[in-house]
Amino acid sequence: MARELRRPSKIVDLHADTFLADWEDYDADELLAESVELLREVLDAAIYWEYTEIRFIHGKGKGILRKEVYKELEFYKNSGAIASYHPSYQNEDIVVVHIGL
C-alpha cells in the first residue's frame, strides 16, 4: 500500500519557532538541521501533489538558513526535481520555488 503525503501549505515558514514547540531545547546546528528537514519534507510533498510553485520563508538574520535553503534547492534543481527558484520580488526573505514548467 503506497503512503500518501499530506498536502502542504503553499507558503512555509522555516523558522524553528513556528514548527517546534520545544525549539529552545535545541542548539543552533540542530535547529538548522530541523529547518532543512522541514524544507525537504514539504518540497517533496509539493512535488508529489504536483504544485507548480511553493514559497519558503527563510528570513534575514545572518543568512545561515537562507544559505542552506539555497544549497538544498540547488540540489533539487540539479536533480531535475524542480525547475527553478529565486528570491520573491516582493520580499527577499522568501524564496519562490517553481516545481513545474
**Is residue 5 in some structural domain?**
no
Q: What is the pLDDT of residues 11-36, one digit of tens each?
A: 999 999 999 999 999 999 999 999 99
Does 64 map to a domain?
yes
Residue 74, domain member (yes or no): yes
Q: How many domains does the chain have?
A: 1
User: Positive or negative, the Cα torsion across 56, 59, 65, 71?
Assistant: positive
Residue 60 belongs to domain with CATH number: 3.30.1370.110
Q: Render pLDDT for 40-94 as a digit per residue (tens, 0 to 9).
A: 999 999 999 999 999 999 988 788 999 999 999 999 999 999 999 999 999 999 9
Which domain does 87 fall in, by range? 11-98
